[in-house]
Amino acid sequence: MGSFLPQNLYEMSNTDKAQLLENLQSQYTAIQSQNLHLDMTRGKPSPEQLDLSLPLLTILDEKHYKSENHTDCRNYGILDGIPEMKKLFGEILDISPHNIFVGGNSSLNLMYDVLVQAMLYGVPGSITPWKNEKEISFLCPVPGYDRHFAILEHLGIKMIPIRLTDEGPDMESVISLVESNPSIKGIFCVPKYSNPTGVTYSDAVVRAFATMKPAAPDFRVFWDNAYVVHDIDFPGDNVLNIFTEAEKHHCTDRFYIFSSTSKISFAGGGVACVATGEKNLEALKKHYSIQTIGYDKLNQLRHALFFKNGEGVLTHMKKHADILRPKKDAVIQTLQEQFSNLGILQWTKPRGGYFVSIETLPGCASEVVKLAHDAGVKLTPAGSTYPYKNDPKDTNIRIAFSYPSVNEIHKAMEIVSLCIAIASLKSMLARA
């Protein structure tokens, strides 16, 4: 595949640009007639990745259904997780099992539950339930994860976008807002291989979260460690342990740290957890003891027996990495071949996680997504990575590379590149 755009793009006359555009548009029409169906929308594991965990399905049998403390996992009992699953998450997160609550299959559901509890009852330190406050806000590093934003919007919590830098959220803005405005009740963070940029927070950023002095007595950081062991290139990025930092500054209750095995074992058939300080944990257990009889301990036991310990998880994740690496490389390679030094596109080069994020020329992202869609390549809707689906400059597109095959990715990225080229040319001509 050759480049769609020449290296001297910015020196071309408008007539030449228009000619080039026409040429690209006829290539586009040819592709449209191929009736392709390629999907790069979803951060979901491929079947090959899921196959890695197939032994989970048969690890329990008529002799193996009791936890190490002799609890019959087939029956009622134990609200906060069997000991071996707490230990396993403890090793994954490097946090004491005592601070861990093991929930159902969805960390998103845990985040939702914690937020609902805060709305209805407040959290330790709250003066009143959040629902009774006149207005409350959350800071949202952008671009970010649409499902976080959807929960906040659904609960009527105002979202304030914060620029995500290469080192994490712009902490100057975060600190200035959090320390001055008591209506700011929290922030959503994905500290490692952030969705969608792949940015990993620097040590300074992590430390700042533990040392800041929030104006709200019940300010909370929702630390979504979704990609904690999801390295693709080795060594992977390293994130400072936020819980250790919080312990140093006696503010462990400022943090809810979420994780799950959804992209380690089975997506949707995994186990989720939240780690937090003693007071939060006590409140959490009180609420959950009303809300549910308890979670599926059999699935916890499956995971504990299959992975054995944190080391077992890391070994397993190397196999995921081997599957994901050529896919991620295919995305980045295409972008490099097509757009290096042209000045019309930026893209991230994460060492792990599930996404590559691109920045188009202003106003081009939704046009690219539409063009790609009409040529048979589904992309995450433009705007999704911003609160209220509002990407003010219309530049960000999330590329999910995990599910399609390498061949499909090559094909899809060629088409996406063509769409970027067309949208960029149109934009340049319109502004000329």
Binding residues for its own copies, rule: CB under 8 A, are 42, 44-45, 47, 50-51, 53-54, 57-58, 60-62, 65, 72-77, 104-106, 108-109, 112, 116, 119-120, 131, 147, 150-151, 154-155, 262, 266-269, 287, 290-299
**In which residue are the tokens 């959490």 written?**
284
**Closer residue to its own copies, CB minimum distance, 70 or 431:** 70
SS3 148: helix
Cβ 389 to its own copies shortest distance, Å: 14
β-sheet with 100-102: strand ranges across? 100-102, 272-276, 255-260, 220-224, 184-189, 137-142, 158-165, 168-169
**Closer residue to its own copies, CB minimum distance, 89 or 354:** 354
**Closer residue to its own copies, CB minimum distance, 256 or 347:** 256
**Closer residue to its own copies, CB minimum distance, 297 or 426:** 297
What is the enclosing helix (H) or strand (E) of 137? Answer: strand 137-142
- Between CA 299 and CA 305 the distance in angstroms is 10
**Closer residue to its own copies, CB minimum distance, 157 or 330:** 157
Cβ 290 to its own copies shortest distance, Å: 5
- Between CA 398 and CA 194 the distance in angstroms is 11
Q: Which of 193, 240, 223 is nearest to 351 (CA)?
A: 193
Query: Between vectors from CA 99 to CA 252 and to CA 133, what angle results, nearest 5°?
Result: 50
Cβ 98 to its own copies shortest distance, Å: 22
Cβ 47 to its own copies shortest distance, Å: 6
Cβ 59 to its own copies shortest distance, Å: 9
Cβ 75 to its own copies shortest distance, Å: 5
Q: What are the CA-CA distances from residue 366 to residues 199, 317, 361, 371 (Å)?
A: 23, 34, 11, 9
**Closer residue to its own copies, CB minimum distance, 400 or 425:** 400
**Closer residue to its own copies, CB minimum distance, 150 or 406:** 150
Cβ 260 to its own copies shortest distance, Å: 10
Give the DSSP letter string of 85-128: HHHHHHHHHTS-GGGEEE-SS-HHHHHHHHHHHHHHH--TT-SS
Q: Which of 231, 230, 256 is nearest to 243 (CA)?
A: 256
